[in-house]
Structure 1
Amino acid sequence: MTTTMRASVMTGVGTLQIEDRPVPSPAPHEVLVEVAAVGVCGSDVHYYRHGRIGDFVVEEPMILGHELSGRIVAVGDGVDPDRVGQRVAVEPQHPCRRCKQCLAGRYNLCPEMKFYATPPVDGAFCRYVTIDDDMAHAVPDSVSDEAAALLEPLSVAVATMRKAHVVPGSSILIAGAGPIGVICAQAARAFGAARIVVTDLVASRREKALQFGATEVLDPTAVDVSAIEPVDAFVDATGVPVAVVSGIKAVGPAGHVVLVGMGADEYALPVSHIQNLEINVTGVFRYTDTWPAAIHLAASGAVDLDAMVTGRYDLEHVGEALDSDTDPASLKSIVHPQ
């Protein structure tokens, strides 16, 4: 195996360049993965265009990309050598495993977390990456490399459905028919939701949502979303304050609200509605122990990840992949680093 690899490196806001980087070596209890496919996430786009997300600021060159799959090509000490050659989906996080949050089973909230493509940690728009052995999840041959990469956003959706308490027969409202909104609609259907309402400003995206599990779509500029038949759960995948407020008002007594979309840091909420109906409001920050469920959903066909792919790019065209979200027809773009 070579000692260097090509990588697409973000060198500044809106700028990328191809660089030769050393191939990393797996530490004890780590594996070296040859990257097959990397999905483009909204957070990658946000870093690329703005250089920061909240308190996370890109201050030095960084490799973007955290939705990935590949094949194990080497292992560190303490890892079964039979894993070499195994196809895997990578859970792109390295928690400390010792802090209060990790010991409580909430490793996604680890204050020492090292997460791919979150400053200053490099991501996966490159040929090789290392990851903890137990964060490289084996996938069956029935799951393609591209679908295996998209198990990461599906994991966000699984975590969201769990927090939204979606069960067979539930009703759910999802604001936004972008990649996360659509994958949440698929997950809601897989979790047994009977009524899945998706809102979006763009007609073509509303139509796309119907193909991926929505039972009803609404144009929020034409319909008062807060006045629809109350739902058991609301998921915001927009980060837009007006969408969040109207969505909360559409939730019935003892319902659940899950905030997933990135947007404004602060905005007013309908507190009396939340208090009087005892509505539970929470956020989703990554995920914990979601990959087994996500693999099952993809392998069983309950969720179709391959159908979400609308664009494919190589390392030389990562910039185009990051800008593909400006096309309303684009749903999920994939980078193939090889």
Structure 2
Amino acid sequence: MSPSSDNPSFVLQELNKVSFEDRPIPKIEDAHDVIVEVKFTGICGSDVHYWSHGRIGSFILKSPMVLGHESAGIIHSVGSAVKDLKEGDTVAMEPGIPCRHCTHCKSGRYNLCPEMAFAATPPFDGTLARYYRLPSDFCFKLPEGMSMEEGALVEPSAVAVHVSRQAGVSVGSSVIVFGAGPVGLLCCAVSKAFGATKIVSVDINEERLNFAHEYAATHIFRSKKESAEDSAKRLVEECGLGSGADVVIDATGAEICIQTGIWALRTGGTYCQAGMGVPDIQFPITAMCTKELNVKGSFRYGSGDYQLAVNLISNGKVKVKELISKKVAFEDAEEAFQDVKAGKGIKILIEGPAESM
């Protein structure tokens, strides 16, 4: 890439092949648009999945695509109708633009919009570039004292907010969270902020579990090779959950975790699926029915979730700086992706392109 590049971008060309390109600088197309100069972008598991597999479900990479969707930056320019943002404001960037007209959008569940244009989901380009265009109402001004590094972690925090809302976590809840990756850890933190009094983090990685215990979980539980029913019984007993947990959140997508979660719930409890795994699994449907469980899915984030995530981070109820394992320069983006794929660290941030690029 030449030093005169205007909009350096990190592009997934095809399966396992990335490159740096100079893409056209986006222009304001609507009076409510803003152009953001991207300063920090977190690497998400979905970005790595597209890089290493070329698809997630029905979303298939068919042409080159800019990666990245967990970003924060500085407002570079604004459309004529933008009133609440100005040049120089620092913002967290919500990376999905719905149609605003369908039934889901009008009911406030715009995350289910069938026409959603979501960053770094084929065929839409992501935010790992110098400049990115968004509608102004999908940019959330960062409160004074909140860094842009924290702003980049608003996106996964909003995922955790949505999951916790779907699961009905409230004051006094007992919650089990399967998976101590970024989303699982943030679900623990958000559950704590929502008033849960017992939060159990479940994983097979001892280091991650220890971090979870220091971070937000009141209890930790290490999975073993045993049946889901036996694991659930041991989990409930060891963590003092009585007749079972009020809420189970699975952030792994692993069949054994899903099964264990269903068995570990109390009668009338709520199960929420946050992680994606293989398309089909064996599911303990009899246990679900006889315990009359509430079973829900969770997809991205909806109305109010992003702003609540900003608020929780800015007031210190959800701490995200502890999740940042390291920050790397834009030109080292591929190495950072390799580290995430290898399971190194918790959250790696890529800095926006330097002015000299």
TM-score with structure 2 setting the length: 0.91
Specify whether residues 62 and 328 from structure 1 end up closer, same or farther in structure 2 by C-alpha distance, changes over 3 A only.
closer
Q: 2:316 aligns with which of 284, 301, 321?
A: 301
Task: Find the counterpart in structure 2 of residue 104 from structure 1.
Answer: 107
Deviation, structure 1 residue 239: 0.8
Deviations 1:269-293, CA, capped at 9 Å, x for gaps: 1111111111111111111121221
Task: Find the counterpart in structure 1 of residue 161 from structure 2.
Answer: 158
Q: Kindly, what percent of the aligned residue pairs are identical?
A: 38
Deviation, structure 1 residue 319: 1.6
The alignment partner of 1:196 has SS state of strand
Matched letter for residue 4 of structure 1: D
Deviation, structure 1 residue 324: 1.9
- Cα separation, 2, equivalents of 1:163 and 1:119: 26
The alignment partner of 2:282 has SS state of coil
**Contact 1:225 1:247 (C-alpha < 8 Å) held by counterparts:** no
Q: 2:231 aligns with which of 207, 220, 225?
A: 225
- Cα separation, 2, equivalents of 1:90 and 1:64: 15
Deviation, structure 1 residue 86: 1.0
Deviations 1:88-143, CA, capped at 9 Å, x for gaps: 10111111100111111110000111000000100011100000110011111211
Q: Does 1:273 align with 2:311?
A: no
Task: Find the counterpart in structure 2 of residue 61 from structure 1.
Answer: 64
Task: Find the counterpart in structure 2 of residue 8 from structure 1.
Answer: 10
**Contact 2:85 2:141 (C-alpha < 8 Å) held by counterparts:** no
Task: Find the counterpart in structure 1 of residue 95 from structure 2.
Answer: 92
Q: 1:242 aligns with which of 248, 252, 256?
A: 256
Specify whether residues 200 and 17 from structure 1 end up closer, same or farther in structure 2 by C-alpha distance, changes over 3 A only.
same
Matched letter for residue 151 of structure 1: V
Deviations 1:17-53, CA, capped at 9 Å, x for gaps: 1111111012211100000110111110110110000
- Cα separation, 2, equivalents of 1:325 and 1:188: 25
**Contact 1:7 1:315 (C-alpha < 8 Å) held by counterparts:** no
CA RMSD, aligned part only? Answer: 1.5
The alignment partner of 1:319 has SS state of helix
- Superposition map of 1:12-51 within 5 A: 12-28=14-30, 29-51=32-54
- Cα separation, 2, equivalents of 1:171 and 1:142: 32
Task: Find the counterpart in structure 2 of residue 125 from structure 1.
Answer: 128
Deviation, structure 1 residue 198: 0.8
Q: Does 1:261 align with 2:280?
A: no
- Cα separation, 1, equivalents of 2:84 and 2:245: 50
Specify whether residues 81 and 215 from structure 1 end up closer, same or farther in structure 2 by C-alpha distance, changes over 3 A only.
closer
- Cα separation, 2, equivalents of 1:179 and 1:162: 18
Deviations 1:40-97, CA, capped at 9 Å, x for gaps: 1111011011000000001100011001100111112322386221111011111110
Matched letter for residue 26 of structure 1: I
- Cα separation, 1, equivalents of 2:91 and 2:112: 24
Task: Find the counterpart in structure 1 of residue 186 from structure 2.
Answer: 183
Structure 2: 5+ residue stretches without partners: none
Specify whether residues 82 and 334 from structure 1 end up closer, same or farther in structure 2 by C-alpha distance, changes over 3 A only.
closer
**Contact 1:225 1:246 (C-alpha < 8 Å) held by counterparts:** yes
- Cα separation, 1, equivalents of 2:291 and 2:200: 21
**Contact 1:32 1:72 (C-alpha < 8 Å) held by counterparts:** yes
The alignment partner of 2:62 has SS state of coil
Q: Does 1:116 align with 2:116?
A: no
The alignment partner of 2:278 has SS state of coil
Deviations 1:293-326, CA, capped at 9 Å, x for gaps: 1111101111111111002122222122222235
**Contact 1:204 1:329 (C-alpha < 8 Å) held by counterparts:** no
**Contact 2:5 2:22 (C-alpha < 8 Å) held by counterparts:** no
The alignment partner of 1:77 has SS state of coil
Deviations 1:244-285, CA, capped at 9 Å, x for gaps: 111111011111111111211111211111111111111111
The alignment partner of 1:101 has SS state of helix
Task: Find the counterpart in structure 2 of residue 213 from structure 1.
Answer: 216
**Contact 2:273 2:297 (C-alpha < 8 Å) held by counterparts:** yes
Specify whether residues 94 and 328 from structure 1 end up closer, same or farther in structure 2 by C-alpha distance, changes over 3 A only.
closer
The alignment partner of 2:23 has SS state of strand
Structure 1: 5+ residue stretches without partners: none
Matched letter for residue 13 of structure 2: T
- Cα separation, 1, equivalents of 2:347 and 2:20: 23
Deviations 1:196-243, CA, capped at 9 Å, x for gaps: 111111100110111111111111116743111310011111111011
- Cα separation, 2, equivalents of 1:61 and 1:276: 49
- Cα separation, 1, equivalents of 2:84 and 2:94: 20
Deviation, structure 1 residue 150: 0.4
- With 137-146 and 326-335 compared, the bigger mean Cα shift is at 326-335
Q: Any runs of at least 4 consecutive aligned residues in structure 1 with deviations exceeding 4 A, and if so which? A: 326-329
Give the paired residue count: 337
